[in-house]
């Protein structure tokens, strides 16, 4: 079985600052993929960033980047230059050979103007 853990229920960041959201996972599979999703108040689920487990290089998408530590099974999301529009719930997720996309419980990020 695979599990995804987000231990912080809430975080807050000042506008223009940097914030890191933590995520750990557990799986026995060798081939898997990791994702971060954003859910704003509109409740739409938006894919933020994707990481292949076999790649050592950390994925980057504009202001969003990950710190992928495979041995530690850690997959944190860093948001640089935080904007008011970044306020949302963020979910960490993973999928493996069983095709099941497993989510963490999410973290609510607030951005202070």
Partner 1 sequence: EAQVTQNPRYLITVTGKKLTVTCSQNMNHEYMSWYRQDPGLGLRQIYYSMNVEVTDKGDVPEGYKVSRKEKRNFPLILESPSPNQTSLYFCASSRSTSGTIPNYGYTFGSGTRLTVV
Task: Report the nearest approach of partner 1 to the CB of residue 15 (Å).
Answer: 27
Q: Return the biggest CA–CA distance within the chain.
A: 43
Task: Report the nearest approach of partner 1 to the CB of residue 70 (Å).
Answer: 16
Our CB check for partner 1 shows the closer of 78 and 103 to be 103
Residues near partner 1, by CB under 8 A: 31-33, 35, 43-47, 50, 52, 91, 95-97, 99-106
DSSP collapsed to 3 states, the chain: CCEEECCCCEEEEECCCCEEECCEEECCCCCEEEEEEEECCCCCCEEEEEEECCCCCCCEECCEEEEEECCCCEEEEEECCCCHHHCEEEEEEEEECCCCEEECCCEEEEEEC
Task: Report the nearest approach of partner 1 to the CB of residue 56 (Å).
Answer: 17
Our CB check for partner 1 shows the closer of 36 and 86 to be 36
Our CB check for partner 1 shows the closer of 15 and 31 to be 31
Our CB check for partner 1 shows the closer of 48 and 87 to be 48
Task: Report the nearest approach of partner 1 to the CB of residue 49 (Å).
Answer: 9
């Amino acid at each position: 079985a695979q599990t995804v853990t987000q231990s912080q229920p809430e975080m807050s960041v000042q506008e223009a600052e940097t914030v890191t959201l933590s995520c750990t996972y557990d799986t026995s599979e060798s081939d898997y993929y990791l994702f971060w999703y954003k859910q704003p108040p509109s409740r739409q689920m938006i894919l933020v960033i994707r990481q292949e487990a076999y790649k050592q290089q950390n994925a980057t998408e504009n202001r969003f980047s990950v710190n992928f530590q495979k041995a530690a099974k850690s997959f944190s999301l860093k948001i640089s230059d935080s904007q008011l529009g970044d306020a949302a719930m963020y979910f960490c997720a993973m999928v493996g050979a069983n095709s099941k996309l497993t989510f963490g419980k999410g973290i609510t990020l607030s951005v202070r103007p």
